[in-house]
Structure 1
C-alpha cells in the first residue's frame, strides 16, 4: 500500500502538516509533532482505524484516496515446484500435543 496523505491534503488546500494537525485536534485526534511528521512525509507501518476515520472526516475523503494499492509490490503466488523446494529446506513442523490429566502444582 502507498500512503497518500500529503496529496489528499493538498487537493483540499492543506499545505502544511501543522495545519492538518490543528484540524485533527479540533476533531479530537491529538497527534504529537513527531507522529504528525511521520504521517505527513513518511509511510506509516500502522495506523489505527479510529485515527483513519478522523483523518478522512477532516479531509472529506474516502480511505481509498489515502491508501493506494500497489499490486506489483506483492509477491507472486508460489507454484507447486516452489512449494516442494521450500518444504525440503524448511525446518520440521512442530505440532503441539494434548496433555491429558492435570499437572502437578509447583512446590
Structure 2
C-alpha cells in the first residue's frame, strides 16, 4: 500500500504534522508527536482501523485517498503444488470439528 497522508492533507491546505495532530485531537484522536511524525513522514507498518477512520473524517476524504493499493509489490507463491479444489476455485471440505466434553464442563450451545 502506498501511504499518501501528506498529499491528502496538502489537498486540504494542511502543511504541518502539528496542524493535523491538533485537528485529530479535536476529533478525539490524541497522537503523540513521535507517532504523528511517523505517520506524516513514512508508511506505518500498522494502523488501527479506528484511527484511520478518524483521519478520514478529519480530512473529509475517502480511505483510497490516504492509502493506494500497489498490487505489483505483492509476491506470489511460485510453488506448483496447489490443492486441486482450491486451484479450481472450490473450497476443500474439511472434517467437522466436534467439541469434546472435559469432565463436568458443559459443551457450548449449537
Query: Under a length normalisation based on structure 2, what TM-score does the superposition of the two structures give?
Result: 0.71
Q: Which residue of 1 aligns with 2:70?
A: 70
Give the Cα separation in 1 of the matches to 2:43 and 2:64: 15
Give the Cα separation in 2 of the matches to 1:53 and 1:10: 18
* Runs of 4+, deviation exceeding 3 Å: none
Aligned length: 86
Deviation string 1:57-96 (CA, Å, 9 cap, x unpaired) is: 000001111111111101134251xx49xxxxxxxxxxxx
Provide the alpha-carbon RMSD of the alignment. 1.9
Deviation string 1:39-70 (CA, Å, 9 cap, x unpaired) is: 00011000001100100000000111111111
Give the Cα separation in 2 of the matches to 1:75 and 1:25: 38
Say whether 1:51 aligns with 2:48.
no
Gaps of 5+ in 1: 85-101, 103-107
Query: Under a length normalisation based on structure 1, what TM-score does the superposition of the two structures give?
Result: 0.73
1:1-107 map, 5 Å: 1-80=1-80, 83=81
Per the TM alignment, residue 2 of structure 1 is displaced from its structure 2 partner at its CA by: 0.9
Give the Cα separation in 1 of the matches to 2:57 and 2:10: 15
Give the Cα separation in 2 of the matches to 1:77 and 1:32: 39
Richer in helix (by share): 1
Higher RCO (C-alpha 8 Å, min separation 6): 1
